[in-house]
Structure 1
Amino acid sequence: MGNTVAVVGGGYGGAALANALDADFDVVLVDPKDAFVHTVAALRGLVDEDWSRRIYFGFDGLLRRGRHVRDRAVAVDEHGVTTARGLRLDADYVVLATGSSYPYPAKQHDDDAAAARDRHAATRAALAGAERVLLLGAGPVGLELAGEITERWPGRRVVLVDPADDVLGGRYLPELRATLREQLSERGVEFVFGSALDAEPPVPFGVRRPFTVHTRAGVRVDADLWFRCYGVSPLSDMLGGALAAARRSDGHVEVDEHLRVPGAPNVFAIGDVTAVPEPKRSKAASEHAAVVAENIAALAAGRKPERVYRPGGEAVLVPLGSTGGASQVPGPDGPVVLGPAETVRHKGGDLLVGRYAELFGSGEPVAG
């Protein structure tokens, strides 16, 4: 085997892996964006102009030996990558780090950081003038967005609609769900549970214009701005050759305990695109990257991969602005619920910006 590694996708897992292999391998990082987007802080960036400038990190500080090919992968097989411009990148090892798509504003859809900041600014202006905001989905994204909006604009009326009977789809400990409901209720957030809308709002999401919708149970909701806060979808349509057989019907890619794609001994997958049974989080993607970096190094040295990935315990961190929130994390005797102060300490303060500023060579950690 040679020394070239094609990493497809420059998100949390792909960036961490490219950086880890850069000293010893010829790394080609394929991603259409001009900068890494720190999605964990995207909702804070939506409501705060200063924060909107903190969440983008140029790829030029990530690699010393390797290179970033700014293009979209349209075909990936066990021998390399073909891009939208027709560039063929042959590789000895291929890593799928393509991630997932998710509705705006939780994830940016612009490949240019300047355009993404402009879109945030336009949405922020719409939010500033809105009287009542409808959020569809009371999962982690919907709750976090409600928290950011109500912290930035106290008194703003926000209503969360979800067909489940409780926040977070009824998952996780009742104590966690109760404290999140209570904190948001104290800010005036309304919850409409148990029924989805009978039709999508008649105006585009993110556009400020009065409208009325009804749930299938007959509940009327009036608002003048709305966002979808559900709908994650793994990005794996570009897989071909032997790799296509590992793609499940839901789009996730099967991997073995070494995070290697079955039937393709030189191909690995990390992050959201994998079928690993665990919450899709940035922390997991980074842990996947560490495992795959060791296993590629083993293969290059003529050894079998030995590093095994074992999914972590069920966990979720939900900051509600910079001062609120709650979390559930594994504990020695079972899952533990953390309150606002501990959640802010784990995630809410600088939303991990400092960690990625260091990874991308962008100076000292940024304070929240």
Structure 2
Amino acid sequence: MSYENTHNDHRVPTIAVVGGGYGGITTAKALDDVANIVLVDPQDSFVHNVAALRGVVDPSWAERIFLPYDRLLRHGRVVHDRAAHVDSGGVTLGSGERVAADYIVLATGSNYPFPAKVDAEESTTGIAMFHTMHKELAGAERVLLLGAGPVGLELAGEIKAVWPHKAVTIVDPASDVVAGRFPDNFRAEVRRQVDALGIELLLDTPLRAQPSSAPGESAPFTVTTQEGREITADIWFRCFGVEPVSDYLAAELAGARTADGHIEVDAELRLSGARNVFAIGDVTAIPEPKMAKQAGDHAEVVAANIKALVSGDGELTSYEPGPDGIALPLGPKGGVSFSWDYAPETGMLDAETTAQVKGEGLMLDTFAELLGRA
């Protein structure tokens, strides 16, 4: 095993990357040639969550979104375990093993209800979960989605693309679709396409109680809105409830954890008072969309900063959040996106462009190449 030695004390530093999601794999790959990388993640494969919702309606996609880690690194190693405690000196794993590290990158992301995210440690278990949910959904005629954010809207579009005849209802207590700093014309176009697909959208509509059946289980039920309207469906999905994963922070790092579980970072993406510990992606408290693109942008900044620290050369880079942007497919051919970078005049990208950017291939090739699976 060989490494490019740029450390000024002639010792190859060890970098523990905790979390093998979008930010974690990008950081680990970028630093593999300058340090001893230890990537820690309990799952046996990277899960391409961007395409997870399609795996529910098309079982062939369920097989494709699990990408093993074995070709990600040429030098470093991947440890399939959970981080039980992380302090500035290293990572204590659930097994009790201690990974001492010169630098630590926290990329543990967030939990979210299945099928948008998968918490199965074995890919075979995850694939089986998708197949089971597909079978349940295929047999249901009426679908209720709780949440009019990106997940609920995208899942509705996927369902309608495969089963146009199914009745799909989205319910949300919020006054409009998609939280974030987006203009009215973006949300208006989302609502227009949702209506054109025959999806019923009920906003400002809290429920008295959630359905009695389990999410993803085909079993007829009736729920009642606060105003007394009854909604009957055969299956429902919870499309809200993101939870950052940061309960492993220990000792001097624990103070960086906010009340809601996010991690506070400075402009260089370091935890306050910890010059060698960085955090990236969904787990950070940075007020911006929690998406794969932002995690990748964070990873680039952190990789550059660690390289500068290892070599002792150059200034550290600050991360500057850009304007909110989103690519929101509504099935393989529909959807709407917003990005000032790609559409400087209006910010709006139409359904055809959205399909090219994300809807058709769901960016699978990009991450398959990063993991050496292309």
* 1:195, distance to aligned residue in structure 2 (A): 2.2
* 1:306, distance to aligned residue in structure 2 (A): 1.4
RMSD in angstroms over aligned alpha carbons? 1.4
Matched, 1:158 2:158: no
Deviations along 1:139-179, whole A, 9 cap, x unmatched? 01100000000101111110000001222248522222222
| SS of match in other structure, 2:178 | helix
Say if 1:216 and 1:52 are closer, same or farther in 2 by CA, change over 3 A. Answer: same
Superposition pairs for residues 297-308 of structure 1, below 5 Å?
297-303=307-313, 305-308=315-318
Q: Is the 8 A contact 1:164 1:170 kept in 2?
A: no
Matched, 1:342 2:353: yes
Q: Is the 8 A contact 1:155 1:187 kept in 2?
A: no
* Among candidates 109, 115, 135, match of residue 99 of structure 1: 109
Aligned residue in 2 for 1:224: 234
| SS of match in other structure, 1:355 | helix
* Among candidates 337, 348, 353, match of residue 364 of structure 2: 353
What's the TM-score, normalizing by structure 2?
A: 0.94
Give the gaps of 5 or more residues in structure 2.
1-8
* Among candidates 4, 12, 22, match of residue 12 of structure 1: 22
* 1:186, distance to aligned residue in structure 2 (A): 2.0
- Partners in 2 of 1:127 and 1:305 — Cα distance? 53
Shifted more, 302-311 versus 221-230: the winner is 302-311
* 1:293, distance to aligned residue in structure 2 (A): 0.7
Superposition pairs for residues 1-368 of structure 1, below 5 Å?
3-169=13-179, 172-303=182-313, 305-331=315-341, 336-363=347-374
- Partners in 2 of 1:252 and 1:334 — Cα distance? 34
Q: Is the 8 A contact 1:162 1:195 kept in 2?
A: yes
* 1:200, distance to aligned residue in structure 2 (A): 1.2
Deviations along 1:55-99, whole A, 9 cap, x unmatched? 111100101100000001111111111111111111010110000
Q: Is the 8 A contact 1:19 1:62 kept in 2?
A: yes
- Partners in 2 of 1:170 and 1:255 — Cα distance? 21
Count residues in correspondence: 363
The AA in structure 2 aligned to 1:193 is: L
Deviations along 1:256-299, whole A, 9 cap, x unmatched? 11111111001000101111121111011011111111111111
- Runs of 4+ aligned residues of structure 1 deviating over 3 Å after TM superposition are 331-335
Give the gaps of 5 or more residues in structure 1.
364-368
* 1:333, distance to aligned residue in structure 2 (A): 5.2
- Partners in 1 of 2:316 and 2:28 — Cα distance? 20
What's the TM-score, normalizing by structure 1?
A: 0.96
